[in-house]
């Protein structure tokens, strides 16, 4: 082969976001991975599938089978639109191949599930249950700290907007804790406290570090409110962003993460970096992390 794939990908990266990208690669390779596929009247060179997924919006279109191998958005009337064969090939190359924890068997199970012709599953950009996760740097009490900021799309007027749905900050989690039952034995308000006009509240407020003991059993701290309070009080100051990834729970029975891999080679761009089979109860627990409700 007399030209560099890496140079070609570098050229693609420099192409304008709004530009029209025409992918036409001719490879002379004996590896089965570069075989020709046919879909109706269209010949598919596998190398076109392996082109970098440059935008998250393109990840959605490829996952759903809503663009062709040339990167052109398909009309819903097209025979190729959401074609199971096209989707299978696209989804197959939307995984991070360097992650050995994502086995071929797991990929196959996932692909077969979402492309099932009787009950196919798609991603919805404006749907629920997917979240951006931003690793950001702040200063807190004059020291640099890292926070995880979760964001989701929310309907706003005729369109949508990103909103902060929750945060995780290690300093907040250290303030609140779940006491052991043995430690909680003496930290409660007697059921007849109302008869003494709750004078024993003095005991509850004597040591603020254990005030959690007097909360209901199902109490969950609202980190998002704390985050806003600390910002308003000037205790937290934003500095920069370290990284961004996306967490998807839209596909029943599955959780997966999507990261942007800025590296040479064709397996780059926005790719599935982690995937797990999950139950409904596990999904509910994950949703509590990403959303403060």
Q: Tell me 169's DSSP state.
A: -
In a domain, 235, yes or no: no
Q: What are phi and psi of 250, to 5 degrees?
A: -75, -25
In a domain, 257, yes or no: no
**Residue pLDDT, tens place only, 192-229:** 999 999 999 999 999 888 888 888 888 888 999 999 99
- How many Å apart are CA 272 and CA 290, to the nearest integer? 19
Number of domains observed in the structure of the chain: 1
pLDDT score of 7 more than 70: no
pLDDT band at 178 (very low <50, low <70, confident <90, very high): low
Structure tokens, 38: 């046919």
pLDDT score of 276 more than 70: yes
pLDDT score of 237 more than 90: yes
Cα–Cα–Cα angle for 36, 54, 35, rounded to 5 degrees: 10
Give the residue, 152 or 9, on which the prediction is more confident: 152
In a domain, 122, yes or no: yes
Q: What is the CB neighbour count within 10 angstroms for residue 148? A: 16
Q: Tell me 72's DSSP state.
A: P
Nearest to 128 by CA among 149, 155, 157, 95: 155
In a domain, 32, yes or no: yes
- How many Å apart are CA 130 and CA 20, to the nearest integer? 29
Q: Range of 53's domain?
A: 5-126
pLDDT score of 27 more than 70: no
- How many Å apart are CA 37 and CA 53, to the nearest integer? 20
Nearest to 134 by CA among 221, 56, 247, 268: 247
In a domain, 265, yes or no: no
- Please state, rounded to an integer, the average pLDDT across all residues of the chain: 83
Burial 110-128 (b: 16+ CB within 10 A, else e): bbebbbeeeeebbbeeeee
Alpha helices by DSSP H, the chain = 5-13, 46-49, 56-64, 84-92, 104-114, 170-175, 201-206, 223-232, 280-290
Question: Which residues have C-beta within 8 Å of that of residue 76, sequence separation ≥ 6?
Answer: none
Query: Comparing 12-16, 49-53, 195-199, 202-206, which segment has the lowest mean pLDDT?
Result: 12-16
Q: What are phi and psi of 49, to 5 degrees?
A: -65, -35
**Residue pLDDT, tens place only, 86-141:** 999 999 999 999 999 999 999 999 999 999 999 999 999 999 999 999 999 999 98
Give the residue, 216 or 40, on which the prediction is more confident: 216
pTM over 0.85: no
71-75, 140-144, 163-167, 195-199, range with greatest mean pLDDT = 163-167
pLDDT band at 12 (very low <50, low <70, confident <90, very high): very low
Structure tokens, 15: 């192409």
- How many Å apart are CA 9 and CA 142, to the nearest integer? 43
In a domain, 81, yes or no: yes
- How many Å apart are CA 247 and CA 14, to the nearest integer? 27
Mean pLDDT of 40-57: 63
> Greatest CA separation found in the chain?
90
In a domain, 222, yes or no: no
In a domain, 180, yes or no: no
pLDDT of residue 42: 45
Cα–Cα–Cα angle for 263, 250, 248, rounded to 5 degrees: 30
DSSP track, 145-164: EEEEEEEEEEEETTEEEEEE
Structure tokens, 270: 């926005």
């Amino acid at each position: 082969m007399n030209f560099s794939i890496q140079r070609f990908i570098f050229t693609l990266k420099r192409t304008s976001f709004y530009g029209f990208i025409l992918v036409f690669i001719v490879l002379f390779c004996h590896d089965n991975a570069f075989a020709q596929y046919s879909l109706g009247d269209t010949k598919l060179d596998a190398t076109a599938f392996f082109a970098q997924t440059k935008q998250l919006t393109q990840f959605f279109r490829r996952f759903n089978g809503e663009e062709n191998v040339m990167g052109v958005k398909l009309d819903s009337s097209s025979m190729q639109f959401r074609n199971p064969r096209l989707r299978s090939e696209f989804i197959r190359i939307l995984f991070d191949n360097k992650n050995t924890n994502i086995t071929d068997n797991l990929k196959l199970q996932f692909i077969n599930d979402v492309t099932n012709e009787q009950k196919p599953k798609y991603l919805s950009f404006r749907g629920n249950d997917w979240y951006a996760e931003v690793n950001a740097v702040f200063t807190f009490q004059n020291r640099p700290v890292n926070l995880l900021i979760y964001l989701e799309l929310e309907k706003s007027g005729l369109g949508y907007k990103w909103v902060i749905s929750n945060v995780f900050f290690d300093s907040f989690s250290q303030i609140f804790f779940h006491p052991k039952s043995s430690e909680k034995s003496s930290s409660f308000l007697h059921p007849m406290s109302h008869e003494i006009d709750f004078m024993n509240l003095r005991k509850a407020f004597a040591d603020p570090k254990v005030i959690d003991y007097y909360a209901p059993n199902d109490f969950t701290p609202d980190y998002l409110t704390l985050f806003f309070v600390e910002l308003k009080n000037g205790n937290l100051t934003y500095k920069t962003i370290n990284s961004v990834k996306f967490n998807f729970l839209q596909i029943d029975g599955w959780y997966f993460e999507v990261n942007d891999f800025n590296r040479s080679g064709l397996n780059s761009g926005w790719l599935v970096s982690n995937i797990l089979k999950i139950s409904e109860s596990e999904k509910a627990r994950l949703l509590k992390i990403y959303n403060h409700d």
